């Protein structure tokens, strides 16, 4: 692994210590479960949450004489992911055995790729911010490699006083281990990296990114140094299973290491665990039990080889990725970079937005999706998948504003009703009498009444035309918001004799 420092130390990201500033260096190894029906080397299901050992073939249980046969879809998924990471695709890769004993590792080795992975160097652009000025900064994070490997089974330790219970359902499920270069310099960057990586995987449909179910886990390598100095000794925090925890683990670990060094100590290279309850990391394995994995090419498997056509066909079929989509939203729909970034952050949001924007004004659609829909979802703690308002419903609201049927203010009420009760926007407007009043007679009557009741305000407004707005507001109030604001404005001005 070529470890080159590609970043210029940035004081914004420094961590102040007792004896001066420190810089944190972070690299990530993400294990992403490949989306596939069956396992990497067996035809058993990858489904989550089944009965113990139900998703287990005799291959997964490492019965004597059982042999691995590779799932071609897992290979395609790895190549797709490599393409999504703008990475070098290796046309020849080798599966190795990583040998160690553990009850949830039935073969006594994990089939993984060590020296010759399927995907080489690539990159991810992350967006960090906003800073105090509301600015976002794009940072390129290097990808070292991506390789395919088998997941292990699961041991449960709480079923029996002296025994552990082993379930091999996950054993042999395909994982992509995606290794970043040590290019990250803050917990925010690390979180942005994970968020972006997860988004890319979801766009590609190669991993569901579901961290709760363990479909994505991060091993975080953390070290600290004085800005600009060589890298320090790193600790690896294993299997962190949420983006928030990754942030917390890094913050804790960086401060722990700084405190040790500032106290005159040295950092031991070790594996640590993050305890989410305490918000701390703790040492996991002692060095006494140092591993010697005895990697060697798996003699049951030939080298994995494919040609250019295989890669080109996958490339041709690749979906639009977030960065490209963002660019298109800015270029073709005239959205701000900020709005576009928000909309592409998750594929489901982008899909929602595109459904709303279809045949409508992109900017208006973006405003509604970002301010109203995402705002409401956020407040309710719901994800886009759980939205009670469909793209068709939201699009309906926008159409009703556009053709003048409802005012912008009424539209907000309509959204509220759709959110709580559902229904068809046009029908609701009809049945609940929410239509905008455009009948000038009715509006004129209201204007006249307000003017008659407020002679003082009339005098003031005549002297200072900007106060005419007060009358508009009163009229809107009196009409329950249903009056067409433009019509009210025009009438008020003409009755008060204010020039346009």
Closer to other proteins at the Cβ: 55 or 407?
55
d(CA 482, CA 492): 16
CA 130 to chain centre: 16
Q: Which of residues 260-279 bind Mg ion (CB under 5 A)?
A: none
Which stretch of DSSP H or E encloses residue 299? Answer: none
- Measured from the CB atom, the residue of 114 and 470 that comes closer to other proteins is 114
316 in Cβ contact with 301 (< 8 Å): no
Size of the site for other proteins (CB under 8 A): 68
Contact flags string 166-205 toward other proteins, x per CB under 8 A: xxx-------------------------------------
Q: Which of 419, 414, 408 is CA-nearest to residue 433? A: 414
Which 311-370 positions form the footprint of other proteins (CB under 8 A)? none
Residues of span 210-239 touching other proteins by CB under 8 A: none
Residue 360's CB: how many other CB atoms inside 10 A? 15
Question: Nearest distance from residue 217's CB to Zn ion, in Å?
Answer: 9
By CB under 5 A, what part of segment 21-50 binds Mg ion? Answer: 29
Total residues contacting Mg ion by CB under 5 A comes to 1
Among 1, 18, 67, 266, binds other proteins (CB under 8 A): 67
Interactions with other proteins, residue window 403-442 (CB under 8 A): none
Of other proteins, Mg ion, Zn ion, none, which one sits near residue 470, judging by CB under 5 to 8 A according to partner kind? none
CB of residue 268 to Zn ion, shortest distance in Å? 22
Q: Is 488 in the site for other proteins (CB under 8 A)?
A: no
For residue 20, the minimal CB distance to Mg ion (Å) is 32
Residue 277: CB atoms within 10 Å: 5
| Piece of 106-114, 196-204, 249-257, 440-448 that binds other proteins (CB under 8 A) | 106-114
Question: Cβ(194)–Cβ(132) under 8 Å?
Answer: no
- Write the DSSP symbol of residue 38: B
The DSSP bridge partners found for residue 110 are: 98
Nearer residue to Zn ion within complex by CB, 112 or 242: 112
d(CA 168, CA 105): 8
Burial 401-420 (b: 16+ CB within 10 A, else e): beeebbbeebbebbbebbbe
For 487, the token pair is: 């019509």
- Residue 236 interacts with Mg ion (CB under 5 A)? no
154-213: contacts with Zn ion (CB under 5 A): 177
Q: Give min distance, CB of 299 to other proteins, in A.
A: 4
Three-state secondary structure call for residue 296: strand
Listed ranges 5-13, 61-69, 144-152, 439-447: which one lies at the site for other proteins (CB under 8 A): 61-69
Rounded distance, CA 409 to CA 436, Å?
A: 10
Out of 28, 59, 128, 406, the residue judged to bind other proteins by CB under 8 A: 59
By C-alpha distance, which of 289, 293, 285 is closest to 111?
293
For residues 358 and 351, is the Cβ–Cβ distance under 8 A? no
* Near other proteins by CB under 8 A: residue from 20, 165, 383, 480: 165
37 interface partner picked from Mg ion, Zn ion, other proteins, none, CB below 5 to 8 A per type: other proteins
354 interacts with Mg ion by CB under 5 A: no
The residues, any chain, with a CB within 8 Å of residue 427's CB and separated by 6 or more, are none
User: In 10 A of CB 357, how many CB atoms?
Assistant: 23
CB 310 within 8 Å of CB 118: no
Task: Tell me which residues touch Zn ion (CB under 5 A).
Answer: 177
Which residues are near Mg ion by CB under 5 A? 29
**Which positions touch other proteins (CB under 8 A)?**
36-38, 42-45, 51-59, 61-75, 94, 97, 99, 101-103, 106-109, 155-157, 159-168, 273, 284, 292, 294-297, 299-305
């Amino acid at each position: 692994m070529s470890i080159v420092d590609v970043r210029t130390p940035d004081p914004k990201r420094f961590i102040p210590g007792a004896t001066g500033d420190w810089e944190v260096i972070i690299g990530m190894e993400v294990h992403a479960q490949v989306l596939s029906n069956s396992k990497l080397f067996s035809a058993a299901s990858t489904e989550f949450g089944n009965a113990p050992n139900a998703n287990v073939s005799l291959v997964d249980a490492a019965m004597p004489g059982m042999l691995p046969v590779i799932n071609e879809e897992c290979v395609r998924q790895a190549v797709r992911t490599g393409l999504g990471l703008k990475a070098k695709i290796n046309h020849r890769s080798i599966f190795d055995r990583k040998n160690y004993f553990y009850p949830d590792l039935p073969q006594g080795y994990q089939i993984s790729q060590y020296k010759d992975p399927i995907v080489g160097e690539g990159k991810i652009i992350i967006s960090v911010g906003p800073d105090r000025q509301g600015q976002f900064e794009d940072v390129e994070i290097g990808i070292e490699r991506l390789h395919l490997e088998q997941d292990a089974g699961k041991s449960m330790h709480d079923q029996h006083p002296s025994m552990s219970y082993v379930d091999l359902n996950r054993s042999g499920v395909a994982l992509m281990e995606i290794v970043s270069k040590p290019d990250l310099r803050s917990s925010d960057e690390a979180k942005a990296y994970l968020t972006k990586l997860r988004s890319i995987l979801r766009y590609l449909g190669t991993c569901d990114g579901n961290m709760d179910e363990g479909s994505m886990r991060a091993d975080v390598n953390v070290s600290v140094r004085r800005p600009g100095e060589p890298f320090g000794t790193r600790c690896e925090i294993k299997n962190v299973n949420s983006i928030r925890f990754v942030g917390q683990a890094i913050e804790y670990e960086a401060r722990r290491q700084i405190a040790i060094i500032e106290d005159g100590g040295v950092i031991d290279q070790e594996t640590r665990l993050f305890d989410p309850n305490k918000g701390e990391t703790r040492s996991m394995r002692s060095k006494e039990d140092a591993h010697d994995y005895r990697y060697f090419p798996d003699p049951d498997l030939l080298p994995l080889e494919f040609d250019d056509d295989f890669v080109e066909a996958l490339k041709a079929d690749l979906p639009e990725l977030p960065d490209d989509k963002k660019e298109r939203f800015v270029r073709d729909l005239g959205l701000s970079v900020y709005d576009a970034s928000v909309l592409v952050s998750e594929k489901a949001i982008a899909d929602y937005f595109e459904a709303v924007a279809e045949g409508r004004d992109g900017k208006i659609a973006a405003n509604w999706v970002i301010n109203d829909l995402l705002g409401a979802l956020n407040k309710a703690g719901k994800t886009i998948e759980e939205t009670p308002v469909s793209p068709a419903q939201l699009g309906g609201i926008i159409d009703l504003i556009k053709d003048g049927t409802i005012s912008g203010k009424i539209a907000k009420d309509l959204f509220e009703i759709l959110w709580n009760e559902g229904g068809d926007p046009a029908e609701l407007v009809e049945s609940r009498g929410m239509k905008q009043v455009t009948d000038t007679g009715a509006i004129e009557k209201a204007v006249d009444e307000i003017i008659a009741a407020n002679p003082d305000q009339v005098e003031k407004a005549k002297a200072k035309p900007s106060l005419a707005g007060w009358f508009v507001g009163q009229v809107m109030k009196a009409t329950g918001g249903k009056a067409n604001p433009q019509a009210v404005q025009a009438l008020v001005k003409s009755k008060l004799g204010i020039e346009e």
